[in-house]
Amino acid sequence: MLPGRDLLVRTLRTPESISAFSMGDWDILVRQARAAGLLARLYHRFREHGFAAAIPDAVRWHLEAAETLANKQAVAVRWELRQIRAALGGLGAPLVALKGAAYVAADLSPAVGRLFNDIDILVPRASLPKVESALMLAGWHAAGLTDYDKRYYRRWMHEIPPLQHIERGTVIDVHHAILPDTARYHPDSAKLLDRAVAVAGMPGVYVLAPEDRILHSATHLFHDGELPHGLRDLTDLDLLLRDAAADANFWPRLAARAEELELGRPLFYALRYVRRFLDTPVPDAALAAAAASAPGHATLALMDAVFSRVLAPDHPSCADRLTRGARLAAYVRAHWLRMPPHLLLPHLFHKAFLSPAQRPPKPA
Amino acid sequence: MKLLQLPPAELRRQLAGAGVWLRTGPFSLRVRSRIPAVAEGLTELYGQFEVRNAHEAFADFHVAVEPPASLRRWVRPQVEFSFDGMKPFRPLPRDQAFPMLEWGLNWCVSTQAHQFLIIHAAVVEKNGRAAILPAPPGSGKSTLTAGLVLSGWRLLSDELALIDRKTGLIQPLPRPVSLKNRSIDVIRAFAPDVYINRASHDTVKGTVAHMRPPRDSVRRQHEAARPGWVIFPEWKSGAPPTLTPRSRAQTFMFLAQNAFNYSHLGEDGFRVGTALIDQVDCFDFHYGELPGAIAVFDALADAGRPA
């Protein structure tokens, strides 16, 4: 086994350990953090804890450059959200920013040092056709997918194919629900929209309520087959939970809301793995309550084996001989949860043999 | 230790294993490759650069040029570039392995090193002042750069002008100078003793070869330079060498558009760019042959700052 397989995770937990780092440790740390999209967040953590002086000069620019990029992306995301709002201005439908865009819009803790690939938004299903044509008029169009993929999105998914802006190249994922119709669980989107919170200073833009943000982030993380940024998303959850936990009634409210939205299982996984990976202060009682939605012992042991690997940065220094299998298992599991077998098997067959993935590389 | 002091077998062993660690300008690299042309290119062109034991040191960019894992290796062999596992380009024919390493390194710097404002331009220096030469391909920028650095000017970079955001000075990155098509023969004729490596044909840029960076430029690769001029060269057959002043405002706009990361830097990009433009003189430059062009540049450097 390579030394330092869990170096990034350990460093996020105990940033003070960097004072004893060799240059070889720094080499691995920067590479793991870049692969995980966490360089800027790591830098913020060092400074927040007053350890910035322990960063060697040769290393510092990597962290500063990532911070420069993250700051630029935060400005760009706010600006894009205003453009989207303007494009949808006349429709009278609420525009809910999800995940990273929501953290930046509402200035939540995970906004700091967050790197983006796209902007996720949620709109009511009934408004979807109008929303899509309004966005197309403003320059966003579906790009770079095969016809099979487009049909797949339209027919089965909870989002339409990603829309890319013709000039700026920015990508929006427009969702009408947080899980596909064919999924095992059916959180009611109307319930999410009912409790959405207006963003100060951005008229017409909303974010999900605090519990709902956490449940959505958990659902996305534990139902998404491809987790190139699994650890980044787990640190988002860690930060959201730490902030929300300041309110004494938060944990029971979270559990009740999870039950109401049928999202007890993803919440259980989220609490289990944030505590295990990032030492998030989840009270024992909250974990015990969530365990009512836990899978059986054998499944849980398997999930532990899978998630301990796929939530690690996608970097060779983090991999062991089971990592490749674990990633495949997570991919198949996510699809299994999204689709019943009579739809899933033809789909996986198509992905494996008829349209081998030709995705452009995604820089962190 | 310099790369040329590594025995060839040892260099090949390191390249095929953990990688060879080497320093170019402000960046450290760890390069892996089992392709003979890469070992050859490094030996011929990077001989003066510092190498270290890859197991001990931190490296900024972990890069590899290797055959892709596909059956095509038996038919029309290809190579692909990777930056610590990321593969930003499509594979290229194996003949282009060394140029691919050079392009890949440019990509690493221009997408990562945001401590600099990075402008797509060559930079040469004389008497303490640097001339930034931004120009589209085909303008004769590389030919002029090669001619100047073979005539007493110091090479800072042939592709990437790195403006330090803190000091406003230009950071050298004196790597091999990329020569294309006819300019390969022009430089061979201009300086018969210069070392230019084996050309790769049919690349996206035509025929490409690389010229070894002057030893003195490599020795002084940590010595930053003050910006003196922004000069837009354009080669025209038979044209007498002519400098024409151009507007600073227009030049600024051009540099901003031709910077790799101007918009990434936000407000600071504007600050660094305007501070740069305030201290340089801006010219268009037409030339038809190298000796006359070099004489004009030398006169500029000797005159100090023109009014």
pLDDT digits (tens, 9 = 90+) for A305-361: 888 888 888 888 888 877 877 777 777 777 666 666 666 666 666 665 555 444 443
Is residue B140 situated within a structural domain?
A: yes
Pick A361's closest partner by Cβ from B60, B88, B113: B88
Q: Which of B112, B132, B150 is the last residue of a domain?
A: B112
- Under an 8 A CB cutoff, do B55 and A24 touch? yes
B210 and B167 within one domain: yes
Q: How many CB atoms lie within 10 A of CB B32?
A: 19
Q: Which residues, at least 6 apart from A234, have a Cβ–Cβ distance to it below 8 Å?
A: A221, A273, A274, A277, A278, A311
Which one of B29, B58, B109, B260 makes the best mutation probe of the A interface by having the most chain A beta carbons within 10 Å? Answer: B58
Is residue A153 situated within a structural domain?
A: yes
A75 touches chain B (CB under 8 A): yes
Q: What is the CATH number of the domain that holds A28?
A: 3.30.460.40
Q: Looking at the predicted structure, is the pLDDT value of residue A64 above 60?
A: yes
For residues A285-302, give the mean pLDDT.
91
pLDDT score, position B30: 95
CA distance linking residue B160 with residue B118, whole number of Å: 6
Q: Which residues, at least 6 apart from A287, have a Cβ–Cβ distance to it below 8 Å?
A: A271, A272, A275
B85 touches chain A (CB under 8 A): yes
B233 and B136 within one domain: yes
Its domain, for residue B26, covers 3-112
For residue A198, give the 3-state DSSP assignment. Answer: strand
Is residue A255 situated within a structural domain?
A: yes
Report yes or no for ipTM above 0.95. no
Q: What total number of domains does chain A contain? A: 1
pLDDT digits (tens, 9 = 90+) for A132-147: 999 999 999 887 777 7
Residues of chain B positioned with their CB less than 8 A from the CB of A29? none
pLDDT score, position A131: 92
pLDDT score, position A177: 84
- Higher pLDDT: B139 or A249? It is A249
pLDDT score, position A339: 64
Considering Cα of B137, then B140, then B144, then B146, what sign does the dihedral take?
positive
Is residue A91 situated within a structural domain?
A: yes
Task: Count chain A–chain B contacts defined by CB atoms under 8 A.
Answer: 55
Contact B39, B8 (CB under 8 A): yes
List the 5-24 stretch of A: residues with Cβ below 8 A of B.
23-24
Is residue B307 situated within a structural domain?
A: no
B63 and B41 within one domain: yes
Nearest CA in chain B to A26: B58
Mean pLDDT score of chain A: 86
B270 and B295 within one domain: yes
B104 and B155 within one domain: no
CA distance linking residue A232 with residue A170, whole number of Å: 20
CA distance linking residue B201 with residue B206, whole number of Å: 6
- Higher pLDDT: A253 or A150? It is A253
For residue A206, give the 3-state DSSP assignment. Answer: strand
Contact A166, A139 (CB under 8 A): yes
Is residue A116 situated within a structural domain?
A: yes
Which one of B56, B84, B107, B108 makes the best mutation probe of the A interface by having the most chain A beta carbons within 10 Å? Answer: B84
- Under an 8 A CB cutoff, do B55 and A31 touch? no
Q: What total number of domains does chain B contain? A: 2
The full 3-state SS of chain B, as one line of letters, equals CEHHHCCHHHHHHHHHCCCEEEEECCEEEEEECCCHHHHHHHHHHCCCCEEECCCCCCCCEEEEEECCCCHHHHCCCEEEEEECCECCCCCEEHHHHHHHHHHHHHHHHHHHCCCEEEEECEEEEECCEEEEECCCCCCCHHHHHHHHHCCCCEEEECCEEEEECCCCCEECCCCCEEEECHHHHHHHHHCCCCCECCCEEEECCEEEEEECCCHHHHHCCCCCEEEEEEEEEEECCCCCCEEEECCHHHHHHHHHHCECCCCCCCHHHHHHHHHHHHCCEEEEEEECCHHHHHHHHHHHHHCCCCC
B236 and B200 within one domain: yes
Reported in sequence order, the residue ranges of A95-240 that DSSP labels E, i.e. its strands, are 95-98, 119-122, 140-142, 163-165, 171-175, 197-198, 205-207
For residue A186, give the 3-state DSSP assignment. Answer: coil
A334 touches chain B (CB under 8 A): no
A59 touches chain B (CB under 8 A): yes
Is residue B239 situated within a structural domain?
A: yes
Could you tell me what percent of chain A has a pLDDT over 90?
Answer: 55
Confidence of residue A363 (pLDDT cuts 50, 70, 90): very low
Burial of B97 (0-12, 13-18, 19+ CB in 10 A): buried
pLDDT digits (tens, 9 = 90+) for A83-125: 999 999 878 888 999 999 999 999 999 999 998 888 999 999 8
Contact B150, B158 (CB under 8 A): no
pLDDT score, position B59: 95
Q: Exposed e or buried b for every residue in B73-85, given b needs 16+ CB within 10 A?
A: eeeeebbbbbbbe
pLDDT score, position A90: 79
Is residue A359 situated within a structural domain?
A: no
Distances (CA, A) of A116 to A66, A69, A303: 12, 10, 27
Could you tell me what percent of chain A has a pLDDT over 70?
Answer: 87
B210 and B147 within one domain: yes
Q: Which of B50, B80, B112 is the last residue of a domain?
A: B112
B142 and B275 within one domain: yes
B123 and B93 within one domain: no
Q: Which of B76, B93, B112 is the last residue of a domain?
A: B112
DSSP category for residue A360 = P
Q: Which residues, at least 6 apart from B121, have a Cβ–Cβ distance to it below 8 Å?
A: B132, B133, B134, B135, B141, B157, B159, B160, B161, B255, B258
Note the pTM of the prediction, 2 decimals: 0.89
- Under an 8 A CB cutoff, do B264 and A69 touch? yes
CA distance linking residue A76 with residue A67, whole number of Å: 14
pLDDT score, position B124: 98
Residues of chain A positioned with their CB less than 8 A from the CB of B60? 58, 62
Is residue B288 situated within a structural domain?
A: yes
CA distance linking residue A214 with residue A270, whole number of Å: 9
pLDDT score, position B137: 76
B231 and B211 within one domain: yes
Low-confidence stretches of chain B (pLDDT beneath 70) = 54, 56, 70-75, 304-307
pLDDT score, position B14: 93
For residue A173, give the 3-state DSSP assignment. Answer: strand
Is residue B223 situated within a structural domain?
A: yes
Its domain, for residue A133, covers 7-354
B193 and B103 within one domain: no
- Under an 8 A CB cutoff, do B266 and A72 touch? yes
Q: Which residues, at least 6 apart from B137, have a Cβ–Cβ distance to it below 8 Å?
A: B180, B205
Based on C-alpha coordinates, what's the Rg of chain A? 20
pLDDT score, position A357: 47
Pick B115's closest partner by Cβ from A59, A61, A75: A61
B166 and B73 within one domain: no
Terminal-to-terminal C-alpha distance of chain B: 45
